[in-house]
Structure 1
Amino acid sequence: MKKILGKILVASLIFTLTACGSKESKEVAKPKVQDEKLVIYSTHAENLIEAVASEFEKKTGIKVDYINLKGALADRVLAEKDAPQADIMYGGASSLFIDLSKKDVFEKTNPSWAKDLNPLFKDPNGTWYGTIQTPVVMFYNSEMLSSEEAPKDWSDLIKPEYKDQLVFRDARSSSAKATYSSLLYQYDKEGKLSEGWEFMKALDSNTKQYYGSGSLQFQAVGRKEASISFAVLSSIIVNKEKGLPLEIIDAKSGSPVITDAIAVIKNAKHKDAAVKFLEFAGSPEIQSKLAVEFNRMPTLDAAIATSPKWMQEIKYKAMDVDWKVLSEKESDWMQKWDSEIKNNN
């Protein structure tokens, strides 16, 4: 009887240890709770965010929720600073990220691809990184102007011969806001901001119309209602491929280059997942994917090498702009432009 009881006790002990070991191994294998979900606030088009998010979900198994906040992105992130509801801020000009960095909204991070970025495309303190570069350049209708007749620089736009030959976006467009502010900065950095405002008045005087829509702006140039405008480079390329007779101007003083950035939000609920997404979204593979599928120009040279041909061949001069200064002054400048300059002539 004792022998049988002993065997039963041994068997019971073995079963218990086996069960505990099995349970322990299962618990070790379970993913961390914070890695099971990721929340993104973005300004990118939903089809673009979906393309990146779905690839990330496939690779990591982490579920992604995203909200497109467009112009309300920065305000929402700042309002939730003490209790963040999102883990990633994805998209928006670097001036927004610079402003929010000063308010201690982002975590310091160090993705592996950051070392290959031009300093123009990243925060020196490691709080945000550029994943898309967006040059804003002048262009003209080549059936209305010859290359000799076309302006060579932004300063030429106020010449009398270009009266009513200009159509632009209004300052609700991020590209127009960045461009008008960059032009004003050229005067501000020399301590001549008052001259900058005189230039903006003269520019407005030569402007035939402002549009709230990029498609209407290009249609106006295509219909020969005006011969000169400016837009993000990729949009010009797209419309040129559609058959519009457009030529790009590489301005002597350079063209503003907007950097679309990404950052991990400080005290995010799913920080580990956010760091993984940062590494993924800025990688050469994803930058190249967005270049091929969405015509977004990468910030990494390695991604440009596998991007559409025009991105590899296009050459342009970047305008000298201190985006830190613009992050501080852009809002006031654009308010003045909208209330005192636009359509005042």
Structure 2
Amino acid sequence: MGEEAGEVVIYVSEDRVFAEPVLQEFERRMGLRVKAVYDTEETKSTGLANRLLAEKNRPQADAFWSNEPVRTIMLKRNGVLAPYASPNAAVIPGEFKDPEGYWTGFAVRSRVIVYNTKLVKPTEAPQSMFDLTDARWKGQVAMADPRFGSTSFHAAVLFVVLGDERASKYFSDLRVNDIKIVDGNSVVRQMVSRGEVKIGWTDTDDVLVAKKAGEPVEMVYTDQQGLGVPILPNMVSLIKGGPHPKNGQKLIDYLLSPEVERMLAQSEAGQMPLHTGVEVPPYVRPVGSLKPMTFDYAAPAARVEAVVRRLQGILKL
């Protein structure tokens, strides 16, 4: 019966302002009604992942569009996802897709340092994540709560890449340097823009939106001579036993098309395409021009809960 209904249900943790035009275009092209359920900024991706877990025995969604990898991979581990190898996934680089077909990445963004251009000269802006522990930035750095969203992914990546001891010391040093822990990346960007702090950790899309609005901010892709920068793909996956599996596959095919990557690159989010040859505006860095941190996306996903517990102690969350 579900197929005849001509609809598809997708849970979306990508910001609604960026995702909605993409899904509306799919509706126009395919004549299918998209029922989208969006997450909130504070519980970004965590809320929907918990809902999908709770609905595992009676799935309500056909697909999950996550704006970070951790929850998608957790859902795979918990048997919520079904494998689906979209034809459009074939050209996407191997590091951005699950070897068993349970998820595929697209339209990536990066973690960056954002700084206030009225308070920090480009030549003085931190070039490495380790610069944030320097006494000159004491009380002048903001970071979103690492229990949620892209910041929890970032924290787990650092524990994977640096090892427990170095990562624990890094976050301990940030706390000693009086880092401000706030509710979400957008709050980090607002604080930097208003000059309440000089610098912060956030995502490329937050900075690009702020710059377009005329805010006095710029960003640094960190550690380009060293560790590299964490890259966050959007991820899309099929829900096991969802009500409209064929329509779910059609929607996944569409999300993994060069056309959608072009839309997300040209949106204010400025997300970087994984398909080659996609036209991007001048403010979007080609992903190939960045030195990424190297890790398997499954590794931080497996560690994130333990890392969050560790950070609750270190950062007194």
TM-score, normalised relative to structure 2: 0.86
CA separation of 1:183 and 1:39: change in aligned 2, threshold 3 A: same
Question: CA separation in 2, counterparts of 1:127 and 1:343?
Answer: 36
How do 1:62-211 residues align onto structure 2 when only pairs under 5 Å count?
62-69=32-39, 70-188=45-163, 193-211=164-182
- Bigger CA radius of gyration: 1
Question: CA separation in 1, counterparts of 2:137 and 2:98?
Answer: 39
- Cα deviation for residue 175 of structure 1 reads 2.2
CA separation of 1:244 and 1:316: change in aligned 2, threshold 3 A: farther
Question: CA separation in 2, counterparts of 1:136 and 1:306?
Answer: 22
Q: 2:206 aligns with which of 229, 235, 250?
A: 235
Question: CA separation in 1, counterparts of 2:36 and 2:156?
Answer: 30
SS in 2 for 1:81: coil
- Cα deviation for residue 284 of structure 1 reads 0.9
- Cα deviation for residue 47 of structure 1 reads 4.3
Which residue number in structure 1 is paired with residue 23 of structure 2? 53
- Cα deviation for residue 86 of structure 1 reads 1.4
- Cα deviation for residue 326 of structure 1 reads 1.1
SS in 2 for 1:309: coil
Q: Does the 8 Å CA contact 1:172/1:212 hold for their aligned counterparts?
A: no
Query: 1:342 aligned to 2:312?
Result: no
Question: CA separation in 2, counterparts of 1:213 and 1:145?
Answer: 22
Higher helix share: 1
Q: Does the 8 Å CA contact 1:109/1:127 hold for their aligned counterparts?
A: yes
- Cα deviation for residue 208 of structure 1 reads 4.2
- Cα deviation for residue 273 of structure 1 reads 1.1
Q: Does the 8 Å CA contact 1:34/1:270 hold for their aligned counterparts?
A: no
CA separation of 1:266 and 1:137: change in aligned 2, threshold 3 A: same
TM-score, normalised relative to structure 1: 0.80
Q: Could you list the runs of 5+ residues in structure 1 that have no partner in the other structure?
A: 1-30
Q: Does the 8 Å CA contact 1:262/1:278 hold for their aligned counterparts?
A: yes
Which residue number in structure 1 is paired with residue 240 of structure 2? 266
SS in 2 for 1:126: coil
For residues 239-261 of structure 1, what are the alpha-carbon distances to aligned partners after superposition, in whole Å with 9 as ceiling and x for unaligned? 23333343322322211111211
Which residue number in structure 1 is paired with residue 7 of structure 2? 37
Which residue number in structure 2 is paired with residue 290 of structure 1? 264
Question: CA separation in 2, counterparts of 1:129 and 1:141?
Answer: 35
SS in 1 for 2:142: strand
- Cα deviation for residue 298 of structure 1 reads 4.1
Q: Which amino acid letter does the alignment assign opposite residue 309 of structure 1?
A: P
* Identical positions, percent: 25
Question: CA separation in 2, counterparts of 1:294 and 1:245?
Answer: 16
Q: Which amino acid letter does the alignment assign opposite residue 150 of structure 2?
A: S
Q: Which amino acid letter does the alignment assign opposite residue 217 of structure 2?
A: L
Question: CA separation in 1, counterparts of 2:166 and 2:272?
Answer: 35
Q: Does the 8 Å CA contact 1:97/1:128 hold for their aligned counterparts?
A: yes
With 154-163 and 127-136 compared, the bigger mean Cα shift is at 154-163
Which residue number in structure 1 is paired with residue 221 of structure 2? 250
Q: Which amino acid letter does the alignment assign opposite residue 171 of structure 2?
A: M
Which residue number in structure 1 is paired with residue 42 of structure 2? none
RMSD (Å) for aligned C-alpha atoms: 2.6
With 106-115 and 272-281 compared, the bigger mean Cα shift is at 106-115
